[in-house]
Amino acid sequence: MKILLTAFEPFGGDEKNVSLEVLNEASAPEGCALAKLVLPVAFQKAEDRINEMIDRENPDAVICLGQAGGRSCISLEKRAVNLREARIPDNDGSTPHGMPVVPQGPEEYPSALPLERLLAVLQAAGIPAELSESAGTFVCNSLMYGMLHHLSETGRTIPAGFIHLPYFKEQTEGKPAGTPYIEMPVLVQGITACIFDIAKAG
């Protein structure tokens, strides 16, 4: 089995991106290949690169990771919407407003990950986790939508979706008091547990 795990570069003035730190530490069980891909925080480039990787590697599952500073749980995203709406510029300086990810595409795509099962795995390990109704409208949502659209258009029915991560402790330095975070070893444990669960299900 092969699982594709993706993360993003830093953005928005942050020196680090928690998703990239977790990507570097995450592992898969014996017999499961873990392909890792670091994506730019740029709307179209990110989608193009993940879809090229999917076509080249033909993975059996795809887990995309992203940063959601301000959240206190690992967030399993339930859907992606066909909208690009940028509150801040992406790393290419693009600030789309009211633009579709895919013109004439469906309004939304539901996650193809086994969310309820992954939530149970995380909660059983004592890791703060939730099902999230919104992946936002920035690059994370756009990536999720573009990936799921590509999988649909190419006839692939595989587990695939997006997981948002809160800051790890180091990232909260200099931020407002009380900014939520989860310790890095716990985040790595959580994502690794998700990888192992998907690999076990085959």
Please identify every residue annotated as catalytic. Answer: 77, 140, 164
In DSSP terms, 129 is beta-bridged to 74
SS3 of 50-92: the string is HHHHHHHHCCCEEEEEEECECECCEEEECEEECCECCCCCCCC
Alpha-carbon 32 to chain mean position = 20
Q: CB of 30 within 8 A of CB of 89?
A: no
Interhelix angle 139-153/43-57, rounded to 10 degrees, is: 40
Structure tokens at 171: 């990232």
